[in-house]
Amino acid sequence: MKKIFLSMIAMFFALGGYAQQLNGTSTYFEVRKYYANEGKLPDLIKRFEDHTLGLFEKSGMENIIYFLPVDNEDNSLTYILGYPDEKSRDVMWGKFANDPEWQKAKKESEVNGALVKSVDQTFMKLAPGLNDLPKQQASGVFQMRIYTCFDGRLDNLLTRFKDHTQDLFAKQGLKNYPYWITVEKDGSQPKLVYLLGDKDQGSFEANFQKFAKDPEWVRAKELSEADGRIVENVDAVFFKTLPFSPMK
């Protein structure tokens, strides 16, 4: 009886540890990639740390993660914001843009020239069934992975991740962070976007190779593709978070 009781207590705490990585109630998300003008990336980072993050929160946005590419050849900064829903996104940005504090901070930071050359945007929502995850400890490196599926195959990919891939990543020591699907304004098939973490890039690459060679994964992949391939293309970029990033 005592052993059963202790087992039940252990199960309770294990289940209690399961929670989405995201702290807010956001249902709509945006990846924003800023290309800094030459020599302006440090100033841009400082403006985010000193002003922008706080003013985003003031406007009702959720700061999720801020990071730089490990190989930052395009002089960029990428971050992800969350919003309560799609409609509130533009309202919150309007509130932020018209905030006198932001206008003052922007003007003062650009006395010697504009900091940002251009911005890329990707809109997303949470991937169904893939975000009931244990809250992870901080990672030393992240990889953002974006999957483009063959037509009509996204649901097959989501099922494979739910039934096999996430657990097999964890088996090799890789850390599952949030999973999203893109919102394509042209009506095309969404892509899967997720973050995978590890202590450093060397460990990540070694553990990912173990995952790729795992007989369980090989079998799951073969069975899931019995009626055709699922993934057409994968884009993967390593990132390191900035010190002020909420998610690490």
pLDDT at 122 over 70: yes
CATH number at 148 reads 3.30.70.100
Residue 81: the pLDDT is 98
CA distance 160 to 156: 6
- pLDDT tier at 24, thresholds 50, 70, 90: low
Are residues 35 and 119 located together in one domain of the fold?
yes
* Distances 140 to 53, 74, 129, 202, 240 between C-alpha atoms, Å: 22, 21, 26, 11, 7
pLDDT at 3 over 50: no
Residue 20: the pLDDT is 45
In the chain, the percentage of residues whose pLDDT exceeds 90 is: 88
Q: What is the mean pLDDT of residues 220-227?
A: 97
Are residues 200 and 117 located together in one domain of the fold?
no
pLDDT at 162 over 50: yes
Residue 19: the pLDDT is 38
Tally of structural domains, the chain? 2
CA distance 225 to 247: 34
pLDDT at 219 over 80: yes
CA-only gyration radius of the chain, Å: 20
106 within domain boundaries: yes
Helix (H) or strand (E) holding 116: strand 116-126
Instruction: State the residue range of the domain holding 62.
Output: 28-125
- The DSSP output letter for 174 is P
pLDDT in tens, 40-81: 999 999 999 999 999 999 999 999 999 999 999 999 999 999
pLDDT at 10 over 80: no
18 within domain boundaries: no
CA distance 50 to 106: 11
Contacts of 98 (CB under 8 A, 6+ apart): none
Of the chain, the end-to-end C-alpha distance in Å amounts to 41
